[in-house]
Every structure is written in structure tokens, then in C-alpha cells.
Amino acid sequence: MHFPALTDISSSDGSKLRAVGPRIRMLLPQMTTLEARVVELVLGRRDFTEATSLQSVANAAEVSEAMVVKVAKKLGFEGYRDFRASLAAYNRLPIVKLHEELSLEDNTATIMNKVVRTAIQALEETLAILDPADVEQAADLLYGARTRDFYGLGGSAQIARDAAHKFLRIGIRATVQDDAHMMAMSASLLCPRDVVVAFSHSGETDSVIEAAGIAKSAGASIVAVTNHGNSSLGGMADVALCSTARGSPLTGENAAARVAQLSIIDVVFVAVAQRGGKTVERNLERTMRSVRAKRRTNRR
């Protein structure tokens, strides 16, 4: 992934400022228990401003002030003041206020607002961290590949199937593997002309990581689609396309991330289609024509 340094993000740069929260959340898996407590406490405070003292954060997290400073530096900031200024500016963004925790007591209208607004936030912040260079690289790999393997388990497998369906529409064939053994076997048969797109929300799904590792050893290129670019999967990938979404105890963290990852695939799909030119147009017309007669409106 290609990110500007957090210290390079100014409070007046709205597009880059939107990336502050997502990037901090992405680094959470690398934190120790105590460090994560500090980060989660600060991210969860709506009243966190430039006036929030170092001592108050340390006291609330039940850690030393030195620990808070250490966390700030580990996140890429120069120190607590830099961390405070950037996060306070991020918290003032309208997009940050979209996320609200769901409750079992919420009525239907409230649930609708909270779920949809959280998805909008995930899309906005994913756009802020998605680098055009990464999209271009992924599109080049997919367009030029001999074989395309899409790996994913559970909910990630559903995203992989949606992606394969999109690409088939323009004549780009991909095989979806959602079984650990099938992923491993398929990966072992790949070569340097092939590409794997590995889907894992956490980036730590053992079967997906192991299969991607086998494919990489065989010379294939790896594209990761994940919510955690600094995960094991993201680290081994040639290019990592990252969504970002805040979790909810009721819907789970991957609910909004799924919406963002589907949008990432749409972006890559269009970039690949551009590379195919007239061939893509012909294939799209052929595949559309093949299913048109199956619609009831066309039987009258």
C-alpha cells in the first residue's frame, strides 16, 4: 500500500485527513493489549479535542503518560501533540459522525439510518485510503494473467464469487476456491503468468494465507483484498487493496467492510475493462445477450 506519512497530513487537507482514523485502526492488530487499550479509548471518545490532556488519556486508559506517547509514535506521529491535533481534526469531519453504535432497543427507522450511514462512512474512508497506483497494478495483473484464482472463506467467498461473476461478463475468466484443500491444490499448479486474488477481512485467515503462500512460491502474483493492510496476507501480497470499516457488536466489523470491498472490486473491474477495449465491449454484449431471453419481461 502507498500512504503518505501521518505527519505529512495537514488539518486543512480534507481528502488526506479522512485517512487518519482508518490508518490508525489498521495498525490496531500490531498493538499490544495495553497499546490497543489506549488507541480504542481515544478513537471511541467523541469529545477528543486539541484540549484533551496527555494525563487525562493516561488516567482513563490506566497506563503511564510515557505509554501514551509511545503509542502515538508507534502509530506514525511525532508525539502526543501531533497525534492529538490530527485525530481532533479528523473527529471534526462530518463523515466521522455517521457511525453510531447499534442497540437492540433501536426502532426500525433508527436501525436503517445507523446501518446505511455506517456503510457510507466505510465507502468514504475506503476512497480516502485507496491508492490509484495499487488499483492500476491490480488491474494490470488481472488483465495480463493466464490463470486467475480467487480465494476466500465464509463471507469473503461470497465477495470472491461476486467478483468472478463481474469479470466473466467481460470475458475474463476466474476460478473461485472456497475450500482449504482446493485452494492449496490450485495454488500449487500456478506459475509466474498467473494471479491470485485473496479475500480475507482480517488478513489472518490461515487457509487463505497458506494457499497464497503456495501460489507465491510458484511464482504467481498476489492481490489481497482485506480490511487490514498490515496483516499477514497484506504483507505477503504484491498489492493490497484495503477497505476500512468500523465494527458493531450486532453486525460485526465485516458488515460495512463487505460493502466497501464490493466497491473496490467494481473499481478494479472497470480498470480491467478499460484495458480490453473493443474485445470487452463484444464480450459484454455476448454475455448480456445470452441471459436476456431468461428474463420474463422478454417472453411476452
* Helix (H), strand (E) at residue 208: helix 206-217
Pair (70, 203) in one structural domain? no
Could you tell me if residue 111 is inside a domain? no
Pair (279, 132) in one structural domain? yes
Per-residue confidence (pLDDT) for residue 254, from 0 to 100? 65
First-last CA distance in the chain: 51
Pair (132, 273) in one structural domain? yes
Residue listed under C-alpha cell 460493502: 259
Pair (135, 80) in one structural domain? no
**Domain of 55, in residue numbers:** 6-92
What separation in angstroms does the CA of 190 have from each of 80, 99, 220? 48, 42, 6
Q: What CATH code is carried by the domain that includes residue 47?
A: 1.10.10.10
Domain end call among 48, 77, 92: 92
DSSP 77-101: -SSHHHHHHHHHHHHTSGGGGG---
Pair (83, 133) in one structural domain? no
Per-residue confidence (pLDDT) for residue 179, from 0 to 100? 97
Pair (27, 176) in one structural domain? no
Pair (195, 267) in one structural domain? yes
Q: How many domains does the chain have?
A: 2
Could you tell me if residue 240 is inside a domain? yes
Q: Which three cell numbers stand for residue 71?
A: 503509542
Pair (37, 165) in one structural domain? no
Pair (18, 160) in one structural domain? no
Per-residue confidence (pLDDT) for residue 139, from 0 to 100? 98
Nearest to 177 by CA among 220, 212, 146: 212
**Model-level pTM?**
0.81
Per-residue confidence (pLDDT) for residue 1, from 0 to 100? 44
Could you tell me if residue 226 is inside a domain? yes
Pair (280, 133) in one structural domain? yes
Per-residue confidence (pLDDT) for residue 253, from 0 to 100? 60
User: Where do the H-state alpha helices sit in 92-179?
Assistant: 108-129, 132-144, 155-169
- Check: CB of residue 215 under 8 Å from CB of residue 222: yes
The answer for 252, left when phi > 0, alpha when psi is -120 to 50, beta otherwise, is: left
Pair (152, 230) in one structural domain? yes
Q: In angstroms, rounded to a whole number, what is the distance separating the alpha carbons of residues 160 and 143?
A: 17
Segments in the chain below pLDDT 70: 1-15, 95-100, 246-254, 297-300
Could you tell me if residue 22 is inside a domain? yes
Report CA Rg, the chain: 21
Starting at the edge strand found earlier in the chain, the sheet holding 239-242 runs 175-177, 148-151, 195-199, 221-226, 239-242
Could you tell me if residue 232 is inside a domain? yes
* Cα three-residue angle 113-114-119, rounded to 5 degrees: 100
What separation in angstroms does the CA of 8 have from each of 11, 52, 76, 92, 154? 10, 22, 10, 18, 38
Q: 46, exposed or middle or buried, with CB in 10 Å at 0-12, 13-18, 19+? A: exposed
Domain end call among 42, 77, 92: 92
Could you tell me if residue 65 is inside a domain? yes
Q: In angstroms, rounded to a whole number, what is the distance separating the alpha carbons of residues 252 and 264?
A: 20
Could you tell me if residue 1 is inside a domain? no
Domain end call among 36, 65, 92: 92
* Cα three-residue angle 107-113-119, rounded to 5 degrees: 135
pLDDT digit string (tens) for 238-248?
999 999 876 66
Q: What CATH code is carried by the domain that includes residue 161?
A: 3.40.50.10490
Could you tell me if residue 253 is inside a domain? yes
Pair (177, 283) in one structural domain? yes
